[in-house]
Amino acid sequence: MDYLTEEEHAKLTEELETLIGLRSELSDRIGRARELGDLKENADYHAAKDEQGHNERKIKDLEERLANATVADTEHVPDDMVFLGTTVRLKNLSNNKEDLYQLVGESSGRFDLDYMEVTSSSELGKALFKARVGETVGVNLPAGRTQFEIVSIE
């Protein structure tokens, strides 16, 4: 199951609306390129058709994702429980290093944040989901099995 925060759902919905809005622009570009003549060697036409195909694929993917996603209701989540949207301080028990992580439905792909994003579908995300402060979770990572203590919720 794909869980999203309200913010993530709104962002994906906005992205979908933008992509749908591009349909007429891409169609116009294809029409203008078609008017230039020979379609076999018409780079503008082929580029616009490719872009239209990519746009339609993104639209289909977003529509499916939004249709199958569950927006997490965080209103009644206990303050000491890790849930979607929670930023949590974890202590790696093998090296005692502490870092901040945020449980997200979808990674933003940003690396300039004060925390690392962990998707709810990842091994660590699944282990953290609904765990509480003070608990220890074990995760199979590429480097091997790692234990994390949930130090606090920020």
In the chain, CATH 3.10.50.30 covers: 87-153
List of residues 6+ apart from 70 with CB closer than 8 A: 1, 2, 3, 4
Second-level CATH architecture of 87-153: Roll (3.10)
List of residues 6+ apart from 13 with CB closer than 8 A: 66
Rounded to two decimals, the pTM is 0.60
> Could you report the per-residue pLDDT of 40-50, keeping only the tens digit for each?
777 888 888 99
Give CATH for domain 2-71.
1.10.287.180
- In whole angstroms, what is the distance from residue 62 CA to residue 64 CA? 5
In the chain, CATH 1.10.287.180 covers: 2-71
> Could you report the per-residue pLDDT of 76-117, keeping only the tens digit for each?
666 788 888 889 999 999 899 999 999 887 777 778 888 999
